[in-house]
Each structure stands twice: as C-alpha cells, then as structure tokens.
Amino acid sequence: MKEIALLGKKIGMTREFYKTGQLVPVTVLKMEKARVINVIDIEKKRL
C-alpha cells in the first residue's frame, strides 16, 4: 500500500459539534496545491 502525505501549516484550532451534543476539537490546516487523484470507496476496496 502506498503512503499518502500532505504538507500544511497549522493555522489554529476550532471545534465541531454533532447532533448528539458531542464536541470534537479540530485542527485547522492550510494546504496549497493539494489535488485528489483517486478515491477508493468500500465497494472498490473489496474487489
């Protein structure tokens, strides 16, 4: 399996709220020139 890496700069922190009331801390990153070249979903992975 190939490893994927992204380079970014941390610009801060925030939080994400879910409908269940759960609070999750989130790191905000700034990335430049990031491009998705392939998406593998569960169905493709099983083949």
Query: How would you write the pLDDT of the chain (47 residues) with one tens digit per residue?
Result: 566 677 889 999 999 999 999 999 999 999 887 777 777 776 655 55
**Could you give the number of structural domains in the chain?**
1
Q: Is residue 1 part of a domain?
A: no
- Tell me if 13 sits within 8 A of 26, measured CB to CB: yes
- The confidence score (pLDDT) of residue 9 equals 92
Q: Is residue 2 part of a domain?
A: no
Region of residue 20 (phi > 0: left; psi between -120 and 50: alpha; otherwise: beta)? alpha
Q: Compute CA 40 distance to the chain's CA centroid, rounded to the nearest angstrom.
A: 14
Amino acid residing at 35: R
The model's pTM is 0.50
Q: What's residue 10's pLDDT?
A: 94
Q: What is the largest CA-CA distance in the chain?
A: 40
* 28 in a structural domain: yes
pLDDT at 8: 86
